[in-house]
A and B are shown apart, each in its own frame.
Chain A
Amino acid sequence: MCDEQHPKPEDPPKKKDLWDIMQALGPALIAATVAIMGSVYSYQQAQMTKASEMREVYTKIMTERESSDNNIRASMFQMLFNAMFDKDINSAGTPDNISLIKKRVMFLDVLSRNFDTVDIKPLFEDLDGELTKKIYNDQSYSDGAQKDYFAMRAELRRIGRNLSVKQLNALASLPGTVVKSIVLIEDKDRNLTVMQDERSANESGDNSIPVEIKSQSLDDGKVEISLEYQKTKASDQGFKAPSFIVTFYDMPYIDNSVIDKDMRVGVVLTKYATTNDLELFRDRIDKRLIKDYEDLKAGGITKYAELRLIKFPAKYTGHRDRPYLQEILQDLVEEKKTKK
Chain B
Amino acid sequence: MKKLFMTFFVLVGILTASTLYAATLFGIVSDKTGKPVEVKVTLKDDKGAAVGTPVTTDKKGNYAFKEIKPGSYIVVVGTKDEWKIFVGPGETRRDLSLK
Contact = CB atoms under 8 A, between A and B. Distances in A.
A273 B89 contact: yes
A200 B82 contact: yes
A328 to B, nearest CB: 29
**Which one of B19, B21, B89 has the greatest number of beta carbons of chain A within 10 Å?**
B89
B89 A292 contact: yes
Interface string A164-194: 0000000000000001010101000000000
A200 B99 CA distance: 11
Interface stretch (A61-69, A90-98, A235-243, A293-301): A293-301
Contacts of A289: 22, 89-90
Interface string A268-296: 00010100000000000011110111011
A260 interface: no
A198 B89 contact: no
Interface in B6-32: 18-23
A260 to B, nearest CB: 22
A201 B97 CA distance: 12
A293 B89 contact: yes
Contacts of A255: none
Contact of B90 (A181, A183, A288): A288
Contact of B82 (A199, A207, A273, A296): A199
Interface string B63-99: 0000001111000000011111110111010110101
Nearest to B72: A195
A271 B92 CA distance: 10
B89 A181 contact: no
B83 A183 contact: no
A198 B72 CA distance: 11
Contacts of A288: 22, 90
A231 to B, nearest CB: 26
B64 to A, nearest CB: 16
B83 A198 contact: yes
**Which one of A179, A207, A292, A293 has the greatest number of beta carbons of chain B within 10 Å?**
A292
A249 interface: no
A295 B70 contact: yes
Contacts of B88: 183, 271, 273, 292, 296, 304, 306
A197 interface: yes
A51 to B, nearest CB: 42
Contacts of B80: 200
A288 B23 CA distance: 9
Interface in A99-151: none
B21 A207 contact: no
Contacts of B20: 291
Contacts of A200: 80-83
B89 A183 contact: no
Contacts of B22: 286, 288-289, 291-292
Given A198-B83, A200-B80, A304 B94 contact: no
Contact of A195 (B81, B86, B92, B97): B86
21 contacts: A181-B85, A183-B86, A195-B72, A197-B85, A198-B85, A199-B82, A199-B84, A200-B81, A200-B83, A271-B90, A273-B88, A287-B18, A289-B89, A292-B21, A292-B70, A292-B89, A295-B71, A296-B70, A296-B89, A299-B70, A299-B71
Given A199-B83, A200-B83, 15 more contacts: A181-B94, A183-B88, A197-B85, A197-B86, A197-B94, A198-B83, A198-B84, A200-B80, A271-B89, A271-B90, A273-B89, A292-B90, A293-B89, A304-B89, A306-B92
Interface of A: 179, 181, 183, 185, 195, 197-201, 207, 271, 273, 286-289, 291-293, 295-296, 299, 304, 306
Closest 4 pairs between A and B when the two form their complex, measured CB to CB: A292-B89, A288-B22, A200-B82, A198-B84
